[in-house]
Structure 1
Amino acid sequence: MFRSAALLCPIAYLNRIQSILTKAAAQLHLVEELDSLGYSEFPPGWDILGPILEKICNEAGTNCSDIMTALTGPNCCVNTSKASVLLKHEPQPTATKNIIHLSQMIRTGTIAMYDYGSEDEKRKQYGNSSPPVHDMRNIPKELPLFLGYGGQDMLADVEDVKALLNDLKDHEEGELFQVYSEEYAHADFVLGVNASQVVYDPMISFLNLH
């Protein structure tokens, strides 16, 4: 189905995620609470999200004055005007179920299918009492992949990305391309003032080749 794939800040393993906001939300089961209240889209309005962020920040004991840094890591190369633009459009809405799924993987440290909770429902969905685990080694070895990741990213942690790369170590020679920037955090890949040279020029070269 794919000729190639370019992945920026690829989130697969979540064992070492450092984002205090994200980890706290997962551990507190806050999105599950929203789901139980009938919210099928995340994030809900700021009238709902604001108190949630306040609860997370108080629980985690972190300084949330800079929400983007607390969520993504210390971005080196996003200027103030670009950061304000990003925060007007982020986070992009998705299904609450999708965020619950991510929260489950943060808590368990596994890349698995959605956990429906009750054993009866899991057996109905999967024929098993636990959600099937995805094996990243099953990614086709001949599929050209481009991976960009940063040393300051608190969502796609370097060690988690390296765990994914370890699964891909048998990829065919010349079909796995990496761009690593020690100073980049998550948002730098989108709005970094030098992202064109650091990330997008090599990515476009990869896409032109594949």
Structure 2
Amino acid sequence: MTVLVLAIILTLSTLRGTISTGLPSLDPDVGLNTVEIIENHGYPCENHYITTEDGYILTFQRIPHGKNDDGSGKKPAVLLMHGLISSSADYVNMGPNRSLSYILADIGYDVWLGNARGNAWSRNHTTLDVVDDAERFFDFSWHEIGHYDLPAAIDYILNLKGDDNLYYVGHSQGCTAFLVFASTRPEYNDKIKMASLMGPASIMEHQFGSLLKVLSKYINELEAMFAKYKIYELPYPEVIREVALNLCSQPDFSDTCEAILSTVDGADETQLDISKLPVIFSNAPSNAATKQFIHYGQQIKNGGFAQYDHGAEKNKEIYGTETPPAYDLSKISAPVGLYYGRNDRLVPYQDVETLIGKLPNVAEDYLVSWELFNHLDFIFSTDVVDLLYVDLIKVMQQY
């Protein structure tokens, strides 16, 4: 999960008519997409189009080398995957020396920025139209992102480079997808040098005070409502972005923006750079299927870490059992580093500790030292380099 969740749609929408639409002079990255932000800072950027086994056409960005590198020489590939209702922009929003993509590119990595099916960059399919065939197009959760998107992307990158394996970094849903991928496609574990998982959303039994915890109590009713009203994806992300961008660009509303984010992810005002919020909201929230939300809600309500619950009758048809099967995490043989925060409302540290106990090859168990470190701090914290990235990169380089 990342940046915003469903209640913020209502919160921001009520403010839409009360704020100025004229933006003051701001960060030069405001209003730019991922490619434009990367190029705005003088880095090379490429778009790559990857077709999955089930026909989705994904757009990934690539930073093949650092700004002061001529591109010569072999570079190890690293794939970075974003969280729920987000995109590749997460890894470039904070600019050079702060966003992980630039740091990795500058120290010699070939950086690939993923975009999961259905988000703003990946809305094409070989046979389905995103509007006319919306019900079928958005018939996926994060299970399909892990089971189909990641294998397609990894094969594409390795085939292009002629390599045997690559590094993986995920945040939130990017971690969920990896756990699905490596457990349901265990043959791919050999293609992962190491996976670094930040705020690894999976087991969700210690949720406290978060919106998802409240919504999970009514997850079956929400699923029925979405089906009844034909709501297949997050409603009006463009409107939410417009309102949030304008709102957070006004000095008088900075406290409101901070309060909304704290409600979702945990308060950490000392690590929140208010000046970067307009850049973040230029691309977030991005598009996502409602089934992604429903699947997370099921994990909170039912416990464990399992495949999508379609109801007893359909479960028996699909899985052969009335309840969805749990993901077999013992099949994940790739080295995995777990990074988590004590103040993360969406991925409580107790659940990460449970996850660590289920993984057979834990390369790093890293509880961030800052007591207030929350779910967004993994990518947006002012001091994230010293608090997290130094250790993450050091462990990566051991593999």
Q: Distance in 1 between matches of 2:277 and 2:357?
A: 33
TM-score (normalised: structure 1): 0.79
Match of 1:159 among 331, 337, 350: 350
Q: Which has the higher contact order (CA 8 A, sep 6+)?
A: 1
1:70 and 1:89, CA in 2 relative to 1: closer, same or farther beyond 3 A? farther
Deviation string, structure 1 residues 51-71 (Cα, Å, up to 9, x no partner)? xxxxxxxxxxxx998221111
Show the counterpart of 1:60.
none
Letter of the 1:190 counterpart = I
Show the counterpart of 1:103.
297
Root-mean-square deviation over aligned CA pairs = 2.5
Show the counterpart of 2:317.
124
Show the counterpart of 1:134.
327
Show the counterpart of 2:228.
36
Match of 1:81 among 257, 260, 275: 275
Answer whether contact 2:210 2:265 (CA < 8 A) is retained: no
Deviation string, structure 1 residues 177-200 (Cα, Å, up to 9, x no partner)? 132223310111111111012212
1:91 and 1:22, CA in 2 relative to 1: closer, same or farther beyond 3 A? farther
Match of 2:390 among 197, 201, 205: 201
Match of 1:67 among 232, 251, 260: 260
**Which consecutive residues of structure 2, in runs of 5 or more, have no partner in the other structure?**
1-187, 241-255
TM-score (normalised: structure 2): 0.44
Show the counterpart of 1:149.
340
Deviation string, structure 1 residues 116-170 (Cα, Å, up to 9, x no partner)? 12x3311110011111112323322xx21111111100011011111111223x5
Q: Distance in 2 between matches of 1:84 and 1:156?
A: 25
Deviation string, structure 1 residues 5-60 (Cα, Å, up to 9, x no partner)? 11000011100112421112222336422243112112x116998xxxxxxxxxxx
Q: Distance in 1 between matches of 2:278 and 2:214?
A: 24
Q: Distance in 2 between matches of 1:108 and 1:48?
A: 33
Answer whether contact 1:189 1:195 (CA < 8 A) is retained: yes
Answer whether contact 2:266 2:374 (CA < 8 A) is retained: yes
Answer whether contact 2:237 2:287 (CA < 8 A) is retained: no
Q: Distance in 1 between matches of 2:207 and 2:281?
A: 21
SS in 1 for 2:193: coil
Residue 365 of structure 2 is aligned to residue 178 of structure 1: yes
Identity of aligned residues (%): 26
Letter of the 1:100 counterpart = I
Structure index of larger Rg: 2
Show the counterpart of 1:54.
none
Aligned residues: 189
